[in-house]
Homo-oligomer: A and B are copies of this chain.
Amino acid sequence: MPDAAKRANVTLRDLATSVGVSQSAVSMALSDHPRISEPTKRAVRAAAARLGYVPNSAGRALRAGRSTSIALVVPQTGRHVFGHPYFMHLLVGVTEEANARDTALMVSTNPDETHGMAAYERVLRSQAASGAIVASASISDPNVNRMVDAALPVVLVGRFAHLPHAASVGTDEIAGAAAVTRHLVQDHGLTRIAHISGPLDHQTAVDRYEGFRGALAASGRPCTHTLAAGDFSEESGRAAARQVLDSMADLQAIFAANDEMAHGAMLEIRSRGLRVPEDIALAGYDDFGVSRLTTPGITTVHVPAQALGRRAASVLFALLDGVAPDPLHTVLPFELVVRESCGSHHG
């Protein structure tokens, strides 16, 4: 256990004078260079432990031409980012992997909507981080293209159809939305369904809507559907539910593009004296907690955000090691989580 004077920052030079060899010998001893004798190595290691030597990361990064950190870049404001449990789970996964590789993690968000470049500039071009994981919701964020174009080590989380050459990690949200839609149609026999989508400049919103429509079309049954767009917030879900409940007679079910909007819809349904699921069945997407807490629980699709984070980090490390990620686009499985909000248990 190191205990001695740890005030000043101990450098290689301090170790060198302490042991009585040159600075380089110390450096080589610590990296176990074959041309350094065992006794010297032992002496150096002992001194390092005694003085509490920790290599200066700036010196190391400068010399190596790359830092020992990776960054999680989310080109949105912090409030938006960390308010959403998705990013939290992502963060858990990324830190797990980064910790395993003893790599520091920088988190970079935008100060506000106008500074699109900031999150990216700050960490990557200044080489504060040697690579980045980018989680951008917007379908056409020019900064993402820029990073990819600059051939920087980047892993995208989500689906970026227009960037086929960039490494990415995601789930098949079209299939996920289709699965939950099929559950409504085929397991519960519901055919008059509304979809509350997210903002349609989000890939996620587009994909979930597409999955919904595709499943209806493929169902072989005459289904009626309607759409109202929200912004993924509970309040917008409630407003959208108001709209579809007013406009579509004999509505049987609502599939919201995320659980928060589904929760908003549930509040609106209830406020009209209707019951979930007896009068209106309900389904959401994400499974980050909201859907488990409500009564009844909301049927949803589990997004493996933590696994996505882990995988994104490991793909990034592969890139940094100069290994081509295989596959370039990882698609992790989703899981349909059936709860009470869409009707009696059909198995």
Q: Is there contact, CB below 8 Å, between B122 and A107?
A: no
Q: In the complex, which residues of chain B have a beta carbon less than 8 angstroms from the beta carbon of A125?
A: 9, 52, 54
Do A58 and B69 form a contact, CB below 8 Å, given A78-B96, A83-B92, A91-B107?
no
Q: Is there contact, CB below 8 Å, between A82 and B104?
A: no
Q: How far is the CB of A142 from chain B (nearest CB, A)?
A: 10
Q: Looking at the complex, which of A18-26, A277-285, A288-296 is the stretch in contact with chain B? A: A288-296
Q: In the complex, which residues of chain B have a beta carbon less than 8 angstroms from the beta carbon of A104?
A: 106, 108, 122-123, 128
When all copies of this chain in the complex are counted, the total is: 2
The 15 listed contacts between A and B (C-beta, < 8 Å) are A56-B62, A57-B67, A58-B62, A68-B128, A69-B128, A78-B99, A81-B95, A82-B92, A95-B107, A99-B109, A99-B110, A104-B106, A104-B128, A106-B106, A293-B294
Residue in B62, B79, B85 whose beta carbon sits within 8 Å of that of A92 in the complex: B79
A107 to B167: give the CA distance in the assembly, Å: 24
- Counting CB contacts under 8 A, is A345 at the interface? no
Residue in B68, B102, B122, B263 whose beta carbon sits within 8 Å of that of A293 in the complex: B263
- Counting CB contacts under 8 A, is A227 at the interface? no
A67 to B69: give the CA distance in the assembly, Å: 13
Q: In the complex, which residues of chain B have a beta carbon less than 8 angstroms from the beta carbon of A54?
A: 121, 125-126
- Counting CB contacts under 8 A, is A336 at the interface? no
Q: In the complex, which residues of chain B have a beta carbon less than 8 angstroms from the beta carbon of A55?
A: 126
